[in-house]
Amino acid sequence: MILLARQPSDSQKILEVMLRRLPQTQNDYAYYSERLSRVQAGLAGEQRVDAEWLEIDLPTPHYFLHDFQTTNGFGSTHQMDTIFLCPHFLLILEIKNITGNLSYDASFAQFTRTTMDGTVEGMANPFVQLERHVVWMKKLFQRERIDLPVVHAVVLATKNGILTKGFEGQPIFHVTGLRFYFQKWIERHHPRESVDLLRLANLLLSLHTQLKKEVEIPLQEMVKGVLCPQCGTGQRLKYHYKKWICPHCGLVDREALMRTLEDYRLLVGQQVTNRSFREFFGIDSPDLAYKLLQQLPLQAEGVKKHRKYWIME
């Protein structure tokens, strides 16, 4: 059972909106485009591993928590790509969608990759990341008096990440090896029938907190207005007789208002006024802006010029 589903992050959504609204001639357009590609590749890798689980015979009961995020007592964050919970153990997976020849020097805790053009790059050590998560989880189990082994591994989501010497004995394998290693863990750890798995799963859910990742947003350089999703060139829709219509392709967009409101939430924030609404949506009339605001599922406070609205996610 999936208790916490995997979804595109707010960082990915923000970058997607930015690239729809930034002119391609903007200085940092290529940077944001490359950054979005990396985020999307990471999500695709995680989804590739998610699909592998479908072909594995899993014990009952079992629970998945994908992209679990929390903060420890020191204010540091933990983000675990996948937590799998079953009567035998709790498994933490760190999923990497990395290409190139990968090397690891345990004596220096150094993780590197060599790209096809021969460039050597240092990368974040996934084993250190995993160990932090394991220590946090074991402390939680100790506090809650839960007797359940904690297993962990790094999973490479692409066959184009080549493991070289130095990884011997490290908890890392390609996604196609998930079935093999899962069976090994099942054989090694006997089921703990005394553990209330649903209670543990709900405890973890109660500790999950969506962490905000900062993305620098060049708001002043973005195209404002309600944009046509079909043209994809920053073409603005016109509001005519209660309809949003594209003067270029003729599209009548019934989702335009809600989609642009989501753009506003991601780029500007959850608070909106008549003035900020007009500026972002490209509307001149305060009266029309007021009428459109009344059509949206917003929580209002204040009166007249002091009236503010809150966008509910």
Is 217 part of a structural domain of the chain? no
Indicate the residue type of 299: Q
* Together in a domain, 147 and 230: no
Is 215 part of a structural domain of the chain? no
Which structural domain, as residue segments, surrounds residue 259? 223-311
pLDDT tens-digit series, residues 17-47:
999 999 988 889 999 999 999 999 999 999 9
* Residue that is last in its domain, among 175, 207, 239: 207
* Together in a domain, 76 and 22: yes
Residues 45 and 35: their CA atoms lie apart, in Å, by: 16
Res. 312: pLDDT tops 90: no
Is 214 part of a structural domain of the chain? no
* Residue that is last in its domain, among 207, 237, 263: 207
**pTM, entire model:** 0.85
Under 8 Å between Cβ of 248 and 238 = no
Q: What is the pLDDT of residue 213?
A: 66
Is 212 part of a structural domain of the chain? no
Q: What is the pLDDT of residue 34?
A: 94
* Together in a domain, 179 and 292: no
pLDDT tens-digit series, residues 106-125:
888 889 889 888 888 888 89
Question: Tokens in use for 130?
Answer: 């995993």
Q: With pLDDT > 90 as the criterion, what percentage of the chain qualifies?
A: 67
Is 88 part of a structural domain of the chain? yes
Contacts of 242 (CB under 8 A, 6+ apart): none
pLDDT tens-digit series, residues 213-271:
677 888 889 999 999 998 877 899 999 888 999 999 999 998 999 999 999 999 999 99
* Residue that is last in its domain, among 144, 173, 207: 207
Residues 236 and 282: their CA atoms lie apart, in Å, by: 9
pLDDT tens-digit series, residues 151-198:
999 999 998 889 987 888 899 999 999 999 999 999 999 999 889 999
CATH of the domain at 230: 1.10.10
Is 295 part of a structural domain of the chain? yes
* Together in a domain, 202 and 69: yes
Question: Tokens in use for 38?
Answer: 């990396």
Q: What is the pLDDT of residue 45?
A: 95
Q: Could you tell me where the beta strands, DSSP code E, fall in the chain?
A: 2-4, 63-71, 77-85, 90-96, 100-105, 110-114, 120-123, 150-156, 161-163, 172-174, 238-240, 243-245, 271-272, 298-301, 308-311
* Together in a domain, 237 and 117: no
Residue with tokens 């020849």: 101
CA angle 111, 149, 196 (to 5 degrees): 135
Q: What is the pLDDT of residue 265?
A: 92
Secondary structure percentages of the chain, helix, strand, coil, to 5? 35, 25, 40
pLDDT tens-digit series, residues 56-110:
999 999 999 999 999 888 888 899 999 999 999 999 999 999 888 999 888 888 8
Number of domains in the chain: 2
* Together in a domain, 106 and 170: yes
* Together in a domain, 34 and 67: yes
Question: Tokens in use for 208?
Answer: 């999950």
Tell me which of 288 and 73 has the higher pLDDT: 288
Q: What is the pLDDT of residue 142?
A: 95
Contacts of 100 (CB under 8 A, 6+ apart): 113, 114, 115, 116, 160, 161, 162
Residue 313 pLDDT grade (very low, low, confident, very high; cuts 50, 70, 90): low
Q: What is the pLDDT of residue 194?
A: 87
Kindly report the backbone phi and psi dihedral angles of residue 238, in degrees, each rounded to the nearest multiple of 5, phi listed first: -105, 140
Res. 311: pLDDT tops 80: yes
Q: What is the pLDDT of residue 75?
A: 83
* Together in a domain, 197 and 129: yes
pLDDT tens-digit series, residues 124-153:
899 999 999 999 999 999 999 999 999 999
Q: Which helix (DSSP H) or strand (DSSP E) does residue 53 occupy?
A: helix 29-53
Whether the upstream peptide bond of residue 61 has omega within 30° of 0, thus cis, is: yes
* Together in a domain, 201 and 274: no
* Together in a domain, 102 and 133: yes
Under 8 Å between Cβ of 218 and 22 = yes
* Together in a domain, 173 and 305: no
* Together in a domain, 171 and 301: no
Under 8 Å between Cβ of 276 and 268 = yes
Residue with tokens 């998930």: 178
Kindly report the backbone phi and psi dihedral angles of residue 185, in degrees, each rounded to the nearest multiple of 5, phi listed first: -65, -40
Is 216 part of a structural domain of the chain? no
Question: Alpha helix locations (H) across 149-273?
Answer: 178-188, 197-207, 256-267
Indicate the residue type of 5: A
Q: CA end-to-end span of the chain, whole Å?
A: 25
